[in-house]
Structure formats: structure tokens, C-alpha cells
Chain A
Amino acid sequence: MHLEEFAEGASLLHRLDPRVKFITLMAFILLTAVVKGLGLPLYALAVSTVLVAVARLPLRKLVNRLAVVNIFVLLLWIFIPFSYPGKELFSLGPLTVSQEGLLYVLSITMKTNAIVLATIAILGTSEIFSLAHALVHLRMPEKLVHLFFFFYRYISVLHEEYIKLKRAMTVRCFTPGTNMHTYRSFAYLVGMLLVRSYERSQRIYQAMLCRGFDGRFPLIRHFALTGKDIIFCILMVSLTVSMAMLVLL
């Protein structure tokens, strides 16, 4: 795994200014989250699908990500149709399924997928580092940005250590079973993972201190808006605004 698997590519979306991406995406997400009914969520889903197509994302990885999200959505499908008050559609034993409930989960499903797809297509196509930079430029509190950036950095460290430890076990013929040896080995794996990730992060931090880190990242690369960014911005904003207009109608 690496967390930036969608960031590799050269599509239009990969080359956009991350500041524009953040602003347009926020507006889109906010609106998608509040709309009701079926028509507008469908509209949002269509917009997201087009974005995914423009970003030319690898389909298989995308499906994997969506599957994870939809596991949670599935839980909603189990509970909401039975508990939402409304016109009875049919009943399963003592449980009744309401029409409103069914439409409600359907709407949630479409909205969730629309938001996730748009986020992957727009933010996933930038590297974390440039996203963090964009956030600083957008006047987000630096502390929060650092938190976000280090969180990402250390998740990667943790994952790298995990991969190493797993490899160390594989080359020495470890096959999991139900015995003490297996349990102990897994316990060692987890323990070592924590100890070593902690030590690695300490070393990274020390190395940063040695190079004069004082809690701030100086910004070297500055973003410059180009024609593409402006066109994308206008396009996304008008799509979002048209959605808002439809809500008001």
C-alpha cells in the first residue's frame, strides 16, 4: 500500500492548483451533504463520475476504496428502512419496511458515493505535501496542517515498519496456525511495530531538528493559477450553484 496511489498520473485533475481544488471541493461537498430527495443526489453522483473519468483513475483500486465505504452504508440499509416512520411498503414478520425509509437510504447511498468519488478524484490526485502547502496558503492554522501532515507521515512509517516485519517473517517460513508459536509471533509483531515506529519517528524528528526545524515549514514552492485552474473553478462552481438553484426551486 501507499496512500497516494491515485496521485500518480498526468490527467487534467492531477495538474490543477490544489488551492482551487480545496475550495471547489468544499462547496461541492457541503451542498451534496445537505440536498434531499433522489434527483439532486443523482445529479451530484453524475458530476463525481465525470470527475473520476476525467482523472482517469485506476478502476480496480477505486472499486476497492468504494467497497470499504459502502460496508458502512450497508449497515444503514439494514437499519433505516425498518425504523424510519412512513407509509408501509411491505412487512417481514414483525418488521415493516417504510417507503420513506427506503428512499432515504437510497439518497444517503448516492450522496456518500458522490462525495467519496469527488474527493478521490479531486484531492486524491494531488500529493499530500502539496495539499498541506495549499492548506497553509489558504490560511488554515499551521498547527492543524502540521498535525495532518505528520499524521500522514507517521502512518506511512507505521506501514513501512509493518511491511518489513511481515517480510522478515515470510522469508523465515512463518505460516500462521492455531498454536502458541503463532500467537506469540503476532504479539511480537505488534509490539515491535509500536516500539520501532516510535523510534523511527524519534529519529526522523531528531534529523529534522538537526536541520534547523523550529516548528514551521518554510514555503518554497508557490502556486500559480493558470487558465486551466480558472476554467475548472468556473465549471465546478457553476455546477454547484446550479445544484443550489435546483434546491431552491
Chain B
Amino acid sequence: MIKVKNLNFIYPNGKAVFKGIDFSLKKGEKVGLVGPNGSGKTTLFHLIMGLLTPSMGEIRIFGKPRNKESDFKEVRRRIGLLFQDSDDQLFCPTVEEDIAFGPLNLGKSAEEVRDIVSETCELLGLKGLEKQVTYRLSGGEKRLVALATVFAMRPECYLLDEPTTGLDEETTERIIKFLTEHADTYVIISHDHELIERVCDKVYRLNGGRLERVDKISLDKK
């Protein structure tokens, strides 16, 4: 699905984040991505979604090279990104409208959207929050709503940037349950090794600008 070759990115202030990384994700793979703060995990996700443009290297998604803004239109329909900061994700006044925003952009009819919204809320346990104002939710509620807005688009693949940071055990369980039952291909960035242990088959570590495959067992030692 995703194939990245010799990727490099330099921020406008001259900071080079990678030293050429290769990464690939096949359909059905559940991948964990770990690495110290500032190693470029979030940057990698943003490159895959076309929010940033690589300074070097190639990104192929769904079998096609993706270079221009227009190439990424399709990518964004089929891959869902959960931002590290929920405030980056939510922008409509109410929860309901925020969840409806994506499906509406995909051209769904009003009725379909209504169904999607109620089904999504049901699944993630957001019943009763639909009419709430998004910027007044608690941190954990925002996280769930943000996940709901991504899930509402029914992407083929999820890129989840620290989905459970700051969540209590019960809410974390809810997210894990959601992942195991409804998501088939995903990459999860997390510092929670137990989570990665439970929901991922494969783990990569990003460190010093390089990406390497690591054993799940070795996670806890380090």
C-alpha cells in the first residue's frame, strides 16, 4: 500500500530530520512505530499524507508515485490520519458536525451521513456527546471524537499518531477494541509499549534519522 524509498525531509529552518529512510506497509499489516521524541515520527506521517513535501526520495501509495498536491487527493480519501494533537483535528462547532465533515467531503448523501454519524458514535461510545461543543470537551473525549472523525471516512488504512496518550485505561481499552474489530491495516506511533505489544505484528524504530525493524520483545529492554 505504502512504499517509501530513501526519504529525506528538511524543515524550512534547515533542520534535516531523516538520513534516507525506507518503509513499506502492505495490506493487512499492523505496524508499530516507536522512537525518541523529536526523531521524526510525526513528520513521516505528514509526508505520507502530502502535508509536507519531501526534499528527496520517493513516495508510492496504492501503486502510484505521489508527488503533487493532486496526487494526494486520492491518498487522503483512502488513508486516515489521526493527528498527535486532537486540537489539530477538530474544527467544527459540534461533535456531530465534525464527524459528518469527512463523509460529506466524500460526497455522501445527507441520510448516509446521518447513519454514519450515529453508527460511529455508537461504536466509540460517544452517544450523548453529539451536540457538545468540540473545543470544550476534555482531552480524552477530544481524542475519541478525533478518532471518530477519521473512522467516519472508513479509510482502508489508518495512521494513528499516539492515539492513547493521556487516556485512562478504560478509554484505552475502547480504542484497542475498536482497532482489533474494525481496523485492518494501520501504523501506530506510540510510546506505550504495552499497547504496541497488543495491537501490532511488526515494530519499527526511528532513531537518529534512520528507520530499523526491531523485535517486539526488545522493546521493553530499551
Contact = CB atoms under 8 A, between A and B. Distances in A.
8 contacts: A8-B14, A165-B91, A168-B88, A168-B91, A172-B149, A174-B105, A188-B93, A188-B97
A171 B161 CA distance: 14
A192 B88 CA distance: 12
Contacts of A189: 91
Query: By CB atoms of chain A within 10 A, which of B91, B101, B153 has the most?
Result: B91
A175 interface: yes
A239 B49 CA distance: 53
A172 B135 contact: no
Contacts of B104: 181
Contacts, number: 58
B88 A170 contact: no
A7 B39 CA distance: 26
Contacts of B91: 165, 168-169, 188-189, 192
Interface string B80-109: 110100011111110001000110111000
Interface string A8-29: 1000000000000000000000
A8 B12 CA distance: 10
B73 A196 contact: no
Contacts of A167: 51, 83, 88
Contacts of B14: 8
Main secondary structure of the interface of A (DSSP, over half): helix
A113 to B, nearest CB: 26
B88 A164 contact: yes
A168 B93 contact: no
Interface of A: 2, 8, 164-165, 167-175, 181, 185, 188-189, 191-192, 195-196, 199
A199 B135 contact: yes
Contacts of B73: 173, 175
A196 B92 contact: no
A165 B87 CA distance: 9
B135 to A, nearest CB: 7
Given A169-B101, A192-B92, 10 more contacts: A8-B14, A164-B87, A167-B88, A168-B83, A168-B88, A171-B49, A172-B153, A173-B102, A174-B105, A188-B97
Query: By CB atoms of chain B within 10 A, which of A167, A171, A189, A199 has the most?
Result: A171
A188 to B, nearest CB: 5
B202 interface: no
A208 B205 CA distance: 37
Query: By CB atoms of chain B within 10 A, which of A8, A168, A172, A175 has the most?
Result: A172
Interface string B47-66: 00101000000000000000
